[in-house]
Amino acid sequence: MNRARRSVDAQRADHGGRAVTEDTDALVAMTRILSPQCRVTRMSGGALIADWKRTRFLGMATPDIRKLTGGSPAERIELVSGLIRAGCATDRPKEHSDAEVGVWLRGVHLLISTLGFGRALRLLPLAAPDYARADPASEEAVARLKRAVQSHSRGSWFVNGDCKTEAVTAFVLLRRRGLRAALHVGLREHPFALHAWTSSGGVCIPDASPRGHGFVPVLTISGGAQ
C-alpha cells in the first residue's frame, strides 16, 4: 500500500515538475515577443503583462500562454496577433534605417561638441531608455549597425571618425530598440590616450582596440541590465 502511494506521489510530483517547466518555457517564449516596455509576471492562474509605456496591465490565462509552445501554428499566430493589436508586441525589433543612423550621428556629434563629452553622457538616460527586450542583440544586427555608423562617420568631414560620437550613437540606437548595450570609456597610459566604444551582441562599435592598441575601461555605462 505504501509503495503504491509513493508511486502515485512520485507520478504527481513528476507531472507537477513537467507542468512548471512547460509554464516557464511558455512565459519565456511570450517574454521574447513582447515590446521592450512590457514586463510579464507569473500569476497563480496565468500571467500579468505590465505595459509601462501606456501604464496598463493585461492578464492572460495559463492555457493561452501554453499555446506559444504547445499550440498549433494557427493558435500561436492568433495569440501573437492579439498581443500585437493590444500594442504589447511587435513583429520584430525595428532596425534604424541608414538615413536615420546618419541623422543621429551628426546630432550626437553636435551635442558632444557643444556640451562636452561628460555632459553628453549625463543626458543618455533621456535618449536611451532603460527597459530591455528579453531576446539578446544578434551579432548580425549589431554588425550592420556598425557598418552604417562607421560609413557615415568616416565619410563625413563633420564627424570625421570620432570614436566618442560613434560609441554614443550606437549606444543610443541600440537602447532605443530595447537591446542591451554597454558604453565603455578606456584609457591607455603610454602614450596617453582615451577611447570610447559600445559593446553589444559580441560586437564593438567602434573597435575596442583600434590598430591593436589596448585600452583599459575606466567607465562603463550599461543599458538594459536586469
**The predicted structure's pLDDT at residue 138:** 85
Percentage of the chain modeled with pLDDT above 70: 83
Q: Are residues 111 and 78 in the same domain?
A: no
Residues 152 and 62 in one domain: no
79 and 126 together in one domain: no
31 in Cβ contact with 48 (< 8 Å): no
Euclidean distance between the first and final Cα of the chain, in Å? 49
Residue with cell 548595450: 181
- Give the three-class secondary structure for 46: strand
Average pLDDT score over residue span 149-177: 91
Write down which residue in 19, 53, 85 finishes a domain: 85
Q: String of b and e for 152-163 (b: at least 16 CB within 10 Å)? A: bbeebeebeebb
What does the alpha-carbon distance between residue 30 and residue 169 come to, in Å, rounded to a whole number?
30
The full DSSP string for 190-206 is TTTEEEEEEEETTEEES
The reply to whether 28 falls in a domain is yes
Taking only the tens place, the pLDDT of each residue in 100-112 is 899 999 999 999 9
68/112: higher pLDDT: 112
185 found inside a domain: yes
Who wins on pLDDT, 6 or 127? 127
Higher pLDDT pick, 183 / 35: 183
> Which residues are 198's β-sheet partners?
183, 205
Burial of 71 per CB tally in 10 Å (0-12, 13-18, 19+): middle
pLDDT at residue 132, rounded to an integer = 61
6 and 47 together in one domain: yes
Strand partners, 59: 48
Considering the entire predicted model, what is its pTM? 0.62
The verdict on residue 91 lying in a domain is no
Same domain? 41 vs 120: no
Residue 90 lies inside a defined structural domain of this protein: no
Q: Is 67 part of any domain?
A: yes
Mark whether 56 and 156 lie in a shared domain.
no
Q: Give the pLDDT confidence score for residue 103 in this predicted structure.
A: 92
Do 117 and 218 belong to one domain? yes
Do 115 and 188 belong to one domain? yes
Nine-digit cell at 47?
A: 500571467
Q: Is residue 92 part of a domain?
A: no
The boundaries of the domain holding residue 77 are: 2-85
Let me know whether 78 and 102 are in one domain: no
The domain boundary residue, chosen from 63, 85, 107: 85
Residue 93: name the closest of 177, 191, 198 by CA: 177
Cell of 115: 556640451
Q: Among 127-131, 141-145, 187-191, 220-224, which is the least confidently predicted range?
A: 127-131
Residues 6+ apart with CB under 8 A from 6: none
Domain count for the chain: 2
- Whether residue 139 lies inside any domain: the answer is yes
Q: Among 35, 62, 85, which residue terminates a domain?
A: 85
In a domain, 93, yes or no: no
DSSP reduced 3-state for 133: coil
Instruction: Note whether 78 and 121 are same-domain residues.
Output: no
pLDDT, greater one: 45 or 167: 167
In this structure, the answer to whether residues 76 and 108 fall within a common structural domain is no
Q: Domain check: are 55 and 155 in the same one?
A: no
